[in-house]
Amino acid sequence: MGDWWYRNIEEPGKLPLLLALTSFALTFLITRMITRMIRAGKGPFRNVESGGVHIHHVVPGVILTVLGGFGGVATGYGAGAIVFAVIFGIGAGLLLDEFALILHLDDVYWSEQGRKSVEVVVLTMTLVVLVLAGYAPLGVNDLSEDEVQDRRLLLLTLVFNFLLVLVALVKGKFLMAVIGTLVPVVALIGALRLARPGSPWAKRAYRRRPRARARSILRSFHHDRRWAGRSRRFQDMIGGRPDPSPARVPTRR
């Protein structure tokens, strides 16, 4: 265990990243636990207000993220980098827990739109874990040392993998595009498969191809029916179930 820890964590200088990820995950989980207790009216915790204004935890999150980021850059290596890595992780956990609020500029924490916060947190944790496992952006880790020294090959690899990520993104496969920046085969699969309905690629490429458009809609339907429910249950388990949407009352004319 000691040899593995030194070879994979300490020697490559990944200890600050590991601590940042750990503090990020713990902060998010603890914050969700506290907010769910406040929502249920249990425990000693209450919303923080000042002058009648609800202070969202995204506010200290921004402050701690800025402090940890600039502090980490200023200190470089050593004990200071470890301390600021933990501060950065705590701030990022508070900040991304209210990502949906920043996106919609509205308090949608317990609404259906609030699921975006949980999705972004899980995606962030996945990417950081991949980086800790040794994956480099855009597949550079697939090259040998001699190949990395060949700048032309390195540049071609970066451009090719970037194009795969871009195609997957235009096809409406955001998750595959993001993960594909670290695992090129994921970007390749996203680039080769049919685009999702409503994506920029589908609107242009399938406009005069009714069969491809129908296949895209059918495949998207089966995919969402298979995975959407599981994804929602997983999100509800972590972040809590959103409030039911208010029923629409028909207006009389």
Task: State pLDDT tens for residues 167-191.
Answer: 999 999 988 998 988 888 999 999 9
190 contacts 167 by C-beta, under 8 angstroms:
yes
pLDDT at position 21, please? 96
The more confidently predicted of residues 58 and 231 is 58
Q: Binning pLDDT at 50, 70 and 90, where does residue 20 land? A: very high
Which residues are CB-neighbours of 63 under 8 A, at least 6 positions away?
91
Which residues are CB-neighbours of 48 under 8 A, at least 6 positions away?
54, 55, 57
pLDDT at position 253, please? 35
pLDDT at position 76, please? 76
What is the chain's mean pLDDT, rounded? 86
- DSSP lists the bridge partners of residue 53 as 50
Task: State pLDDT tens for residues 180-231.
Answer: 888 889 999 999 999 999 889 988 899 889 898 899 999 888 888 887 888 8
pLDDT at 61 > cutoff 70:
yes
Residue 192, classified by CB atoms within 10 Å of its CB into exposed (0-12), middle (13-18) or buried (19+), is exposed
Domain definitions of the chain by residue range:
1-134
pLDDT at 252 > cutoff 60:
no
Segment 10-18 shows an average pLDDT of 85
The more confidently predicted of residues 131 and 246 is 131
The more confidently predicted of residues 231 and 149 is 231
pTM equals 0.79
